[in-house]
Amino acid sequence: MGKALLIIDVQKAILEGKGTPERQPVLDAALDETVGRLRTLQDKARSAGIPVVVVQHDGPDGHRLATGTEGWEVRPELAPREGDFLVRKKSSDSFHETDLGTCLAQLGVSHLVVGGCMTQYCVDTTVRRAVSLGYDVTLVADGHMTADTAILSHADIIAHHNDTLDGFDAGDAVVEVRPAADISF
């Protein structure tokens, strides 16, 4: 079973302006912690010869992730290095109209370790699609991040998705949710 680390949409402006003036520093700090854990997993994957795939969202003009803007750039801590793979997308589903499936097939990947942003959108959609396509998925419990909504904090959204997705399956493929410290390659 070939594994790959898939990091979704950890771009410079992913949370820009998503919080109130009081909450934005909390969101930014939580994102920085998440990035640190994902960086550790990236290093572990590279050391073990496991492919690293970075997904980058191409936003339209005027969007905080508008293609070609500074905010669109992948956070430097997680930017692809030589030997890594970059997949660009325009929807929440990292497989939709991208070369992700082809890339994973060429690499012989059947198991994805997934983290990134935004939990309830791109991370959730990609995890569910991956399982539906037959990939086993390990969702990094403390390796995905989002912003608060009008009724839920980012921590509540993350906890909800970790609970909902743990054990989610489609046929023989299943999602397992594990903290970064418990994931090895």
Q: Look at the alpha carbons of 157, 88, 132, 134 in this order and tell me if their dihedral is positive or negative.
A: negative
pLDDT of residue 142: 98
Q: Summarize the confidence of residues 106-128 as an average pLDDT.
A: 98
- Report if pTM > 0.85: yes
Q: First and final CA of the chain: distance in angstroms?
A: 11
Task: Work out the angle at residue 40's Cα, subtended by the Cα atoms of residues 34 and 45, and round it to the nearest 5 degrees.
Answer: 125
Would you say residue 37 has pLDDT above 70? yes
Q: Distance between CA atoms of 172 and 87, rounded to whole angstroms?
A: 26
Q: Are 64 and 71 in contact (CB under 8 A)?
A: yes
Topology of the domain covering 2-182: Rossmann fold (3.40.50)
Q: Where are the domains of the chain?
A: 2-182
Q: Distance between CA atoms of 18 and 138, rounded to whole angstroms?
A: 27
Would you say residue 1 has pLDDT above 90? no
pLDDT of residue 147: 98
How does pLDDT run across 68-81, given as a tens digit for each residue? 999 999 999 999 99
Strand positions, DSSP E, the chain: 2-8, 52-57, 85-89, 109-117, 136-145, 169-170, 173-178
